[in-house]
A and B are shown apart, each in its own frame.
Chain A
Amino acid sequence: MTDPDILIEAHGLTRRYGHQHAVQNLSLTLRKGEVLGLLGPNGAGKSTTMKMLTGTLKPNAGTVAIKGVSMADAPKAAKQSLGYLPEQPPVYGELTVDEFLDFAAGLHGMRGAQRKQAVASAKRDCGLEEVSKRLISNLSKGYQQRVGLAQAIIHRPPVIILDEPTVGLDPIQIREIRSLIADLGRNHSVILSSHILPEIQAVCSRVMIISRGRAVYDEPLTATEHARFDTVEVALRQPPPLAQLRDIAGVAEVQALPGGARFAVRVQPGQDPREALASAAAQGHWGLFELRAVTRSLEDIFVELTSGDALGVAA
């Protein structure tokens, strides 16, 4: 029996274009209620991975199962549980929003009253009610993107796959689409690709970093947020001698940073000297104006894991 909580199970996906490996031996699992962010530089294989997950591209090797249904053996049944928004919203400009969504609902096997209801609720969820009767080609890029989203959720699939959903939008539209995705994440499982870090941080619960067609990192986002830190950075206007800092409980090593006011305080494993530092600074009138734990941010991880790409391109 397959675990009912696992919605997507992809194993060893490989895709070649000619001699180039776009995706290589990539495995991925999506559970119920997760918002998984695929992060990677441009050309890392995010779109190719999504195409294989949605069955629009056949993998050279590997398997995809949606809710335990194999994409290769029963594509129709597998696709029924999927909603997909490709990079370019797949909308017919000459149709109105209503006509298009009606067609999309029909494609997913909805008939009659059920179809009408599906169109109405998708429009409500994506904020499209005021533009129902307008031609899609006359809508702004942001609204077209919403129509694309509405199309992806119209049959209420358990899994929604969104390929760079905020590309080409203005900052306000980006915020709207993000909050929309966050809303969707409450009732659906979502896979989202992006090369924008804050976007992943804003909406995802788990992040997978893809570099050169391989998954190089796959952790819950909380792992990066509440990571154990080993360094505290402290900034003082009237710094005491370094030895005095070193004597504070929990401090292992102190290093003066360039500029004179900042110090990198190495922490003894498992200790948190921040409170002690603050009270010592207050008693000694050191003029404390900044104190923070230096955690490894998603950006650090991303740069570390993918910088090989940039070198490869430069070489």
Chain B
Amino acid sequence: MNTLIIARAELRRIFLSPLAWAVLAVVQVLLGFIFVNVLFDFINQPGFGGGFGASDVVVGQVFGFATILVLLIMPLMTMRLFAEERKSGTLNLLLSAPVSLTEIVLGKFLGVLGFIVVLLAVTALMPLALLPTTDLDVGRVAAGLLGLLLLMGSFAAAGLFVSSLTREPTIAAVASFGLLLLIWLVNILGYQDGVPFAEVIRYLSLIEHYESLRRGVFNTADIAYYALFTALFLGLTVQRLDLERQ
């Protein structure tokens, strides 16, 4: 219950800041631009898509581009969560209130998750606009959206952790961007010849697990990967806040 109260306040504060609206607007404009481009590509191909369906071409590509976009915006959405509270002294309000650290961290995470859901809802509108005119594979769109949700949730958890390390929101943004990009790109190393444990490294990359969902394959292992990734960073955040009181 405490978690929900914190989550509600967090979500409210996110949408009271102009940043959230700016991010939503920019994401929408850029995805719209990509969507239109991809749509023209699809129409102009011989045989209307060259054997691929609208779901493959349009949804796959739009969601593929969306991952890059969320990599850029999620650090901005998570940078303030703890850094700003620490800077302005409001963290004391939460720490001296009769709530546990786990409730605080979960509340903040759920608040950001609320924003993510809103962002996904407006993103989903574009592919869904094709529904009346094409035989869109709704299941595949859903898998892609679920993938994005899990991916963004993981980004949010990592960003939340980085934000708990510092009191400067901008430092938190830069650092979490660096961290996310590193975990994202770690699979490049996994594809190099002669790298030990290449399999493991590839498996750890954030993006590998999204690929299958984007292709419409719902694999429990991928879901578990993101769930564990998120839980790990939320747990680390709780530890970090506890350490701060020591």
Q: Which residues in A have some Cβ–Cβ distance to B below 8 Å?
A: 54-58, 75-77, 79-80, 82, 84, 86-95, 99, 103-104, 106-109, 151
Q: Is the CB of B92 within 8 A of A95?
A: no
Closest to A87 in B: B89
Residues of B within 8 A of A55 (CB): 95-96, 245
What is the distance, in angstroms, from A84's C-beta to the closest C-beta of chain B? Answer: 4
Q: How far is the CA of A261 from the CA of B74 in the complex (A)?
A: 78
Pick from B12, B93, B100: contact of A151, CB below 8 A: B93
Pick from A58, A82, A89, A94: contact of B96, CB below 8 A: A82
**Chain A CB within 8 A of B98 CB:** yes
Q: Is the CB of B92 within 8 A of A56?
A: yes
What is the distance, in angstroms, from B3's C-beta to the closest C-beta of chain A? Answer: 11
Q: Say whether chain B's binding surface is mostly helix, strand, loop, or mixed.
A: helix
Q: How far is the CA of A51 from the CA of B17 in the complex (A)?
A: 30
**Chain A CB within 8 A of B219 CB:** no
Known A56-B95, A84-B96, A99-B12; contact A106-B5, beta-carbon cutoff 8 A: yes
Q: How far is the CA of A75 from the CA of B94 in the complex (A)?
A: 13
Q: Is the CB of B98 within 8 A of A58?
A: no
Q: Which residues in B have some Cβ–Cβ distance to A below 8 Å?
A: 2, 5-6, 9, 12-13, 16-17, 88-100, 245-246
Residues of B within 8 A of A88 (CB): 88-89, 92
Q: Is the CB of A90 within 8 A of B93?
A: yes
Residues of B within 8 A of A109 (CB): 2, 98
Closest to B104 in A: A107
Can you list 8 pairs linking A and B with CB atoms under 8 Å apart?
Answer: A56-B95, A79-B97, A86-B96, A93-B88, A94-B13, A94-B16, A95-B9, A108-B97
Residues of A within 8 A of B12 (CB): 95, 99
Q: Is the CB of A107 within 8 A of B99?
A: yes
Residues of A within 8 A of B245 (CB): 55-58
What is the distance, in angstroms, from B9's C-beta to the closest C-beta of chain A? Answer: 5
Pick from A80, A84, A94, A99: contact of B92, CB below 8 A: A84
Q: Is the CB of B98 within 8 A of A95?
A: no
Q: Is the CB of A107 within 8 A of B13?
A: no
Q: How far is the CA of A110 from the CA of B214 in the complex (A)?
A: 44
Residues of B within 8 A of A79 (CB): 96-98
Q: How far is the CA of A6 from the CA of B104 in the complex (A)?
A: 30
Q: How far is the CA of A283 from the CA of B246 in the complex (A)?
A: 71
Closest to B4 in A: A106
Q: Is the CB of B90 within 8 A of A76?
A: no
Residues of B within 8 A of A90 (CB): 88-93
3 shortest interchain CB distances as A-B pairs: A88-B89, A90-B93, A106-B5
Q: Is the CB of A76 within 8 A of B13?
A: no
Residues of B within 8 A of A92 (CB): 9, 13, 90
Q: Is the CB of A95 within 8 A of B16?
A: yes
Q: Is the CB of A107 within 8 A of B246?
A: no
What is the distance, in angstroms, from A204's C-beta to the closest C-beta of chain B? Answer: 22
Most-contacted residue by chain A among B89, B93, B100 (CB, 10 A):
B93
Q: How far is the CA of A43 from the CA of B91 in the complex (A)?
A: 22
Closest to A54 in B: B96
Q: How far is the CA of A51 from the CA of B88 in the complex (A)?
A: 16
Pick from B17, B90, B96, B100: contact of A56, CB below 8 A: B96
